[in-house]
């Protein structure tokens, strides 16, 4: 399928999914399934080409976390696993997670999380944490380049000092591979094994304890397989998170927990739809789309 047709279909699929979830939201939002949200960046500014879909405004994040505080009990991913193991999932729990480890998580998201008493779990790309360099997968437009020259710190990865400070105040940390070079399934098995083992080693060296939570780069059904789950178990991870769409119930595989990506285009209404289950219906659609087109259905390349 050529790029132009695939993106036309993506746009049509995105519009269809929004309408379908509107209907599902009206019909039923009940049940005992818990949402796990995934963010990347939380910033006061937006640039068209930064990381596609990954920049949520601080004022939007503030409204979302206020809604979480007022309607859910926020728990870490490890706490979710403990409750699920003990058959104590009620559907009133919610996990907030962040992938990659951007400095703005500390500068902007962390104060808001503390403001509302929200716990969060952060997954770190360990090769870049503490480094004075930008993540190499970022695509930055002219406005972003200007802001980097004036406000470089907020574009950098977290420092290990940031991580330790946040951990002392109740935030949980895990890993997201060592370099985020590619999906694990697109690497040779030995290379993916190295990515997992090296991020684990660096985390242990810097934090003084072993990570138990992991998130797959890109994270759809096509981005990992049973080999990678076994690799994670061998280095003592308890849980791994995907970007497969939906909430999680009592019987989920702890190494394939679903998450809901929060986008810069999500209104508070769309956010409510996601946390209350309107997007649970999208899981089967996502699988079908990945089979046909090979990439996520709801984003347009920029």
pTM more than 0.85: yes
- CA-nearest of 194, 202, 193, 199 to 214 is 199
Residue ranges of E strands in 81-238: 93-100, 120-124, 172-175, 213-215
What is residue 12's three-state secondary structure? helix
Phi-psi region of 177 (alpha: psi -120 to 50; beta: other; left: phi over 0): left
Q: What is the pLDDT of residue 42?
A: 95
The kind and range of the H/E element at 277 are: none
Which residues are CB-contacts of 69 (< 8 A; sequence separation ≥ 6)? 116, 117, 118
Query: Of the segments 73-77, 86-90, 219-223, which one has the largest average pLDDT value?
Result: 73-77
Confidence of residue 250 (pLDDT cuts 50, 70, 90): confident
* Mean pLDDT for the chain overall: 87
Which residues are CB-contacts of 51 (< 8 A; sequence separation ≥ 6)? 40, 41, 137, 138, 139
Q: What is the pLDDT of residue 282?
A: 79
Please give the share of the chain, as a percent, with pLDDT higher than 90: 68
> Which residue would you say has higher pLDDT here, 157 or 33?
157
Residue 15 predicted with pLDDT over 70:
no
Query: Of the segments 9-13, 55-59, 161-165, which one has the largest average pLDDT value?
Result: 161-165
**What's the pLDDT tens digit per position in 269-279?**
999 999 999 99
**Cβ atoms 172, 119 nearer than 8 A:** yes
In order of 55, 122, 136, the CA distances from 181 in angstroms are 21, 18, 9
Which domains are delineated in the chain? 1-29+284-302 (no CATH), 31-277 (3.20.20.370)
Residue 301 predicted with pLDDT over 50:
no
Assigned token pair, 140: 């930055």
SS (H, E, C) 63-120: HHHHHHHHHCEECCHHHHHHHHHCCCCCCCEEEEEEEECEHHHHHHHHHHHHHHCCCE
Please give the share of the chain, as a percent, with pLDDT higher than 70: 80
Pairing of strands 239-241, 36-39: unpaired
Residue 302 predicted with pLDDT over 50:
no
Backbone angles phi, psi at 215, to 5 degrees: -125, 140
**What's the pLDDT tens digit per position in 124-146?**
999 999 999 999 988 888 888 88
Residue in the structure block whose two tokens are 């994670």: 232
């Amino acid at each position: 399928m050529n790029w132009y047709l695939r993106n036309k279909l993506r746009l049509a699929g995105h519009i269809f999914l929004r309408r379908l979830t509107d209907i599902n939201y009206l019909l039923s939002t009940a049940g005992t399934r818990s949402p796990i949200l995934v963010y990347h960046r939380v910033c006061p500014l937006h640039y068209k080409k930064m990381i596609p879909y990954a920049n949520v405004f601080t004022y939007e994040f503030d409204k979302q976390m206020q809604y979480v505080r007022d309607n859910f009990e926020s728990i870490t991913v490890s706490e979710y696993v403990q409750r699920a193991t003990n058959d104590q999932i009620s559907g009133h729990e919610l996990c907030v997670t962040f992938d990659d480890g951007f400095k703005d998580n500390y500068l902007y998201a962390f104060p808001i999380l503390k403001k509302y008493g929200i716990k969060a779990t952060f997954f770190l790309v360990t090769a870049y944490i503490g480094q004075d360099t930008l993540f190499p997968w970022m695509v930055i437009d002219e406005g972003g380049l200007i802001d980097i020259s004036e406000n470089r710190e907020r574009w950098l990865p977290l420092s290990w000092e940031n991580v330790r400070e946040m951990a002392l105040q109740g935030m949980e940390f895990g890993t997201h591979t060592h370099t985020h070079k590619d999906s694990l399934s697109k690497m040779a098995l030995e290379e993916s094994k190295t990515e997992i083992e090296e991020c684990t080693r660096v985390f242990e060296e810097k934090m003084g304890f072993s990570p138990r939570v992991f998130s797959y780069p890109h994270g759809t059904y096509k981005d990992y397989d049973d080999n990678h789950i076994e690799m994670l178990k061998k280095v003592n991870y308890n849980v791994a998170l995907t970007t497969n769409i939906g909430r999680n119930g009592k019987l989920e595989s702890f190494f394939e927990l679903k998450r809901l990506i929060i986008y810069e285009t999500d209104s508070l209404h769309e956010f409510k739809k996601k946390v209350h289950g309107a997007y649970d219906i999208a899981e089967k659609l996502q699988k079908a789309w990945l089979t046909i087109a090979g990439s996520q259905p709801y984003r347009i390349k920029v």
